[in-house]
Every structure is written in C-alpha cells, then in structure tokens.
A = this chain, B = another copy of it.
Amino acid sequence: MQGMMMQRPLLISDILTYAAEAFPKAEVVSARTEGDIHRTNYPEIRDRVGQLANALRAHGVQMGDRIATLAWNGYRHLELYYAISGIGAVCHTINPRLSAEQMIYIVNHAEDKVIFVDTTFVPILEALQSHFPADLTYVIMTDRAHMPDTKLPNALCYEELLAEQSSEIEWPLFDENTAAGLCYTSGTTGNPKGALYSHRSNVLHAMMISVTLSSTFGEGRKVLPVVPLFHVNAWGLPYAAPMSGLSLIFPGPAMDGPSLFKLMDSEEVYSAWGVPTIWMGLLAEIKAQGRKPKGFEDVVVGGSAAPRSMIETFEEMDISVGHAWGMTEMSPVGTHGTLPSTMKDAPFKERIDFKQTQGRRVFGVELKIVDDEGKTLPKDGEAVGELFVRGNAVVSGYFNNEEATAKALDADGWFGTGDVASISAEGILTIQDRAKDLIKSGGEWISSIDVENAAMSHPAIANCAAIGMPHPKWDERPVLVAIAAGDARPSVEEMHAHMSEHFAKWQLPDDIIWVEELPMTATGKVSKLNLRKQLADYVLPDLR
C-alpha cells in the first residue's frame, strides 16, 4: 500500500530559492581573479542565477546538455552550479590541473556544448581549442573591462550575458533522478571516468552531511571551501551551506598559506574544508604568525588521510578536526570523524587516536568489507578487506562508459572503492591503504599510510610518501620519499629508531630518498603512480 503524501521532486533549484528567502543576510564572499574581494548574498545570487539560466536557454541550452566550467572557487562558479542544473542541464566541472591529454579527452567525451572559463585558464583552452568540437561556445567569467585579448573563437563575456536577461524564472519541475552534475575522476590509470550526479543524489547528500555535521552546519556560520568547486562539488558545500544558512567564503586562485590565513582572518571563517597539502601551507603561516585566524574552530580534512601530527597541531589550537573519507563516486562524503559526545572529556591522546580513523558513516551511506572471494567480513576492528559502499549518493556506473560501468558494482549492487579497510563494532572505519598502494613484503602487507604517518611525526620531515620497490626475494620493500622540513636529513637508522615503536622491523623502510617536491595529482594528493615512474631506475640498497 502506498502512502498518501505529495510527490515533489528533490531539485537543486529549491535549495537556492530557500536560501534566498530564509537566509537573506548570509554572505557569499569571493577572492576574485580581478584581484579584489567581492561580496554578495543569496538573494542577489538567486537573481543572477535567474539571469544566467535565461541566458543559457537563449543560447539554446536544453535539458541534458553538458555545460562545462573551468574555474576557481567563486560566486560565478556557484551561479553556474545552480543555473545549469536548474534548467535540467548538466554542470560538468573540469579540473584545470588535468593534463592536456585528459582535458581533451573529457571535453570531447562529455560532448560539452558551452564552456565557462575563468580568465586564468583562458590560455589552457587556447592551447587545446583545436582539439575541441568546432561548435563549442566559450564564455569568459568576467566583465567587459577585464575581458582578455583571446584567440578563443567568438568568446562571450559572462557579465554581458547576464545583463541581457531578466532575473525572473519559473524553475522547471522534472524527475529528481535527472542528471545535474558531471565530474571525472582524475584517474591514475586509463582515461578519466565520469560520475554523473542527479538532483536526488545531490539534495540528499547535502541533507546527509548537514544532519551529520550539525555543529559545522549551524545557521550563521561561515565556511571556506578550499576544496575546489571543480572537484566533487566541493564536497557538497555549494548545496549544504545555503540549505543550512551558512555564509560561503571562496578563496579564488589564492590557496597558499598566507593568502588563506589573511582571508580566513578577515572574514572570521569558522570552518574550512580541504586536503592535507593545503593545511600544511596554512599551518606554516599559522606558525609564522604565532596565532590562528580569528574565529577558526573547525577544519574538515579529506581527499587523503590526514597525518597524525597535523591532527594534533590543529587540535592543540582548539580547531576541531573532522577527518572525512569519501570518493568522487560518493558525492563524496562517506564517513566523518566527528568526536562522539561521550569522548569529549577523553585524554588528548585518545581523542587523536579516534580522529586519526576515518570515523563513522554518515546517514545514507552503507559500508561493508569483503575478502578476496567477495565474502563479507565481520565489523570487529580486526578483519581487513576491500571496502564497498552503497547509498543514494553513490554512483551506479560511469557516464557513457559501458566497460567501466560493468565493473563498478558487485553482484549485490555495492560499489568497490579500491580502499582496504577495517570497520569496528561501533562502525568506525579505518582505511589501511589504497589497495594498489599497499606494500607486499614476504607475503605480508604493509600499509603505506601507516609508514607515512609514523615518518611524518619526525620533526625533520615536512611531507613524505612510502612506496613499494621491487625486490626479488621479498616481492616489494618499502622506501620513504621525503621532503625535509629544514636542514636536517636524518639517516635511515635514525628514522628506524623514531618509528620502531609502532612497527615490526620488517615493516620499516629500507631507504630514504630526499626530494625537493613530490608529484601531485590534479586533486592535491601525492601521485604514487608518477612517483613510481620517477623512480623507475631506483635500486634498493641491498641490491646495489
């Protein structure tokens, strides 16, 4: 028997309509490519989104069309999120750090009809334009005064597009499963694969994270997404923040430590979200200034595992660390490390122990771990297996990619994450490693994340990566590739002494390779794939 309740589609347009009405005084503050700080609010954004949506329609954009963005975090990018999906088109966010080859692939694969681009990235498109479809429309996200001299054919000016249109729009109603957004995984192997989000998945995801992270999502708070709008919907903030009445502070291109500090300090940002590498820069600036930015009390760290030392440093400054885990294919949030209220008075070490885990699932995401045969393993904190997930904000396949789609889900409809993890009886997830980053030595597995965490707690090490190097007897042996924090270069023996508390002897790295920088992926993670390529000729010490 069916209930007798109204059937209203869960649509993204309702979020902005609601925010503009309910939270007219929340702000959207953007550090712009024009070099200034721009301030607006949800009612103004709603009106401009109406203009933009009318402009898209005037230029022939139809439901289902893919409209690309190549842009920093800022109010115009936010407007694109709402205008494109509002009329039933698909907002395809492109990561500007992708290789030329990948970018050419995805623009053609997505069959983008229009591409919106920040002035910064115009040269990228100029260089690639000959590889893009001839009928692609280019719109440069600035006003007439700042329009660059460009070789892009018939490039339009964003502000002029808007100025021509009325802000009045009646948002269309359509099936809540309609595609709303497209984000390609940066894919360390093979071609990028597109996660195709729906209105239902994005609205539910926003509600899921807002329900779960209730202290972050308190009305009136200010949140800074350093995580880019071009990367998995900036972890859902463009939807969850307006829904909950938060102000959005956008850093634009300026994501170095001093710039972030200055913006956070002047805007009194409460919560900032981003990957560990970003926080290394901010923490260096905090150290230099001898204080934290005003109002800063909450940091969400995701994308890759937060080093223990980073968690400790934040917590010592009364900045609560929410260690989150997720994936592009999960919209992205899967778990979060909010400290349970029962642990509020626990000793510092216990609280850090907890926060070093990936925490518990948000409502709406299910987790299971399986062994090599696909058999479900117990949630006992001991068993380790590949992590599978299920939920309304998890992909069921990849856009226009039958091969990858066929491999995405197991027989019971769970998505395989490629992470290796344990889950405690209380549902606490601990990611051991990416399956492909595990180091196999003498038939046993060594977690590269564990090795990196232990090494990072040494003051001489600023950043590092542990990878397995081929060994004829042991299969692989771990080596540490490290960036020094200062002038000290501790020897392997010194590092062993430092790390031996947590490891058996055979788990310790055979060598340290000092480098000036580590190769990064387009989403700010250390690229172990590229690191392995760089070290293709490396020979382990005992084989030399």
Complex contact B201–A207 (CB within 8 A): no
- Per-residue contact bits, chain A 121-151, to B (CB 8 Å; 1 contact, 0 not): 0000000000000000000000000000000
- Per-residue contact bits, chain A 390-426, to B (CB 8 Å; 1 contact, 0 not): 1111111111000001000000010100000000001
Which B residues are in CB contact (< 8 Å) with A391? 6, 8
**Across the two chains, which residue of chain B brings its CB closest to A247?**
B341
Which B residues are in CB contact (< 8 Å) with A210? 210-211, 214
Complex contact A392–B211 (CB within 8 A): no
A215 at the interface (CB under 8 A from B): yes
Count residues of A near B (Cβ-Cβ below 8 Å): 71
Complex contact B244–A198 (CB within 8 A): no
Among candidates B3, B4, B14, B392, residue contacting A7 with C-beta atoms closer than 8 Å? B392
Alpha-carbon gap, A64 to B180, bound state (A): 35
Alpha-carbon gap, A2 to B360, bound state (A): 30
Which B residues are in CB contact (< 8 Å) with A397? 4
Which B residues are in CB contact (< 8 Å) with A1? 63-64, 90, 178-179
A21 at the interface (CB under 8 A from B): yes
A5 at the interface (CB under 8 A from B): yes
CB distance from A207 to the nearest CB of B (A): 4
Contacting B at CB under 8 A, from A244-281, are: 244-245
Alpha-carbon gap, A262 to B180, bound state (A): 52
A200 at the interface (CB under 8 A from B): yes
Which B residues are in CB contact (< 8 Å) with A399? 4
Complex contact B3–A180 (CB within 8 A): yes
Complex contact A2–B178 (CB within 8 A): yes
Contacting B at CB under 8 A, from A7-37, are: 7-8, 10, 14-15, 18, 21-25
Which B residues are in CB contact (< 8 Å) with A392? 5-8, 10
List residues of chain A with CB under 8 Å of any chain B CB. Answer: 1-8, 10, 14-15, 18, 21-25, 63-64, 90, 175, 177-180, 195-201, 207-208, 210-211, 214-215, 217-221, 243-245, 331, 338, 340-342, 344, 360-361, 363-364, 390-399, 405, 413, 415, 426-427
The 9 closest A-B pairs by CB, nearest first: A220-B341, A3-B198, A1-B64, A5-B201, A21-B427, A4-B196, A3-B179, A207-B207, A214-B214
A-B contact list, 15 entries, CB within 8 Å: A2-B177, A3-B177, A3-B178, A3-B198, A5-B392, A5-B393, A6-B394, A7-B177, A22-B426, A207-B211, A210-B214, A211-B217, A211-B244, A214-B244, A243-B363
20 further contact pairs, Cβ within 8 A, besides A3-B178, A214-B217: A1-B63, A3-B177, A3-B179, A3-B198, A4-B395, A4-B396, A5-B395, A5-B396, A6-B390, A6-B392, A7-B177, A10-B392, A21-B427, A22-B426, A25-B342, A207-B211, A210-B214, A214-B218, A214-B219, A215-B218
